[in-house]
Structure 1
Amino acid sequence: MSATTKLKVPTPADIVARKGGAPLVCLTAYTTPVAQLTDPHCDIVLVGDSVGMVLHGLPSTLGVTMEMMVLHGQAVARGLSRAMMVVDMPFGSYEESPGQAFRNAAALVAETGCAAVKLEGGVEMAPTIRHLTRRSIPVMAHIGLTPQAINTLGGYRVQGRGEDAARVLADADAVADAGAFSVVLEKVPERLADEITARLAIPTIGIGASAGCDGQILVVDDMLGLFTAFKPKFAKRYAMLGADADKAIAAYAEEVRARSFPAPEHLFGDALPEAKE
């Protein structure tokens, strides 16, 4: 491929067309360098409100603001050329009314250039999803464990076990019928995730759900071993960059204290370097 060839970024319609095909690869990103790393490998890069916990040290996602999502969305956009960017709508930016949701979603699209927004909730958010999609804002839905609702869900517990499965199924049907182009299934039993995947015409994207989902997503800091405050069961660590960074910083500190860094090769002399013939 020529270096000047323009790569086609997937659209929401392209994602829907992938239903039942090769699994969609999705990761979060919050900075330009990480976006550049994910871009060659991912179909979708999500600027998740998990940024509040993994980069800003917040105890949950509830303190994330629109300003934070815009800032990180703009940073990620600079690092993408082929993956589709989706930006999370933070807590309090869409629940009040469909009108509030449209104003904030439109701001995210205009200020970050994202192809779609993601919001949490099922049956209760279906009217909002319908309102947005009918006004040209594609929506990725998110059901099952919805982290913005941890105060009412009683923590980060599995959703949809036993009789509760009917509620999650109703949520899945509602967001699909409202026009969402895909739906994240978080922390739901494998059998339920497979049932939802089979019954919906839109792709399901699992996180602690099932390998049978139409795609998978992880928080990039979890899978790289950069965020170590806790490790969700569903997060596989593909690297331990946090531990490697700790060793590197410790080695640097030791060399500075020993005055072995900077070494002569890192310093500059008074004389100009000799010109090469």
Structure 2
Amino acid sequence: SFIGSYHGCIAGSMSNSGHTAMTHTLPRPGLVLLPYPTRYRPRFSPDEVLAMLDYQFETTCPPEQVAAVLIEPILSDGGLIVPPDGFLKALEERCRAHGILVVLDEVKVGLARSGKLHAFEHHGLEPDITVFGKGLGGGLPLSAMVGPADILDHAPAFVMQTTAGNPVCTAVGGAVLDTILAEDLASRAVKMGATLRAGFAKLAERHEMIGDVRGLGLAIGVDLVASRETQAPVDATMTAKVIYRAYELGPNFLYVGLDANVLEITLTVSEAEIAESLDIIARALADAAAGAVPYEAVQAFMN
């Protein structure tokens, strides 16, 4: 898996995640975490990350002992990071050469959000297993794992939970998929995403705190910085003040990233809501930067 990855908040998925919010959970024995390459603040190049993996294979992590590689095609909670072109394909090729399963986590960025039905399509990947969730249920709890029978038919009743197979949620999931395809929401995400990124580009001309705007479709992250020159992220308190001020003005935003400094934008948004949201974010950025949001207002949310 990758540093910055988030694969869920139950024991098994947390133990395979690499997000800083998961440091209270012991990693699964044998887990190897690699850096996720990024164009903004590049610490390691794609070739350097792949070289790290090759060295692991040669030394402490024999490839014949590796069950799978868990991949987010866009590192979501790690900061809405789109990997450089060719990186994930090169990783997949190494997996194929060694018989390692490729598992794609599409829970947060799949199902049309990125501008394609599946975010892994941007990278030309062919996963062995794909995991879906969140938007799949249209607001109801629903997730799904898709893969071949020779992998998933591991044992009878291998995965059973109280809420599994809920017929109402399952019916909603089918309706969600029908709607995504019938209304071509992937193309809509491309259009709305372009409008939103153009709006943030305009805001960046007036607000120095916006350091980078990135993403695919409507899987967009806005990186808040203390300095554009150094690309140093704002501290989590400043991000909280921006979000709290926006909340006072109307919309509710989330933040992600290893430094808790990246604003995350929702999928179900109209052009009118985009325009309104950009105006509110501009006010929130200005007010937070001017010190108009006291620390006491966000203190309760900082633990």
TM-score (ref. length: structure 2): 0.29
TM-score (ref. length: structure 1): 0.31
Larger RCO (CA within 8 A; separation ≥ 6): 1
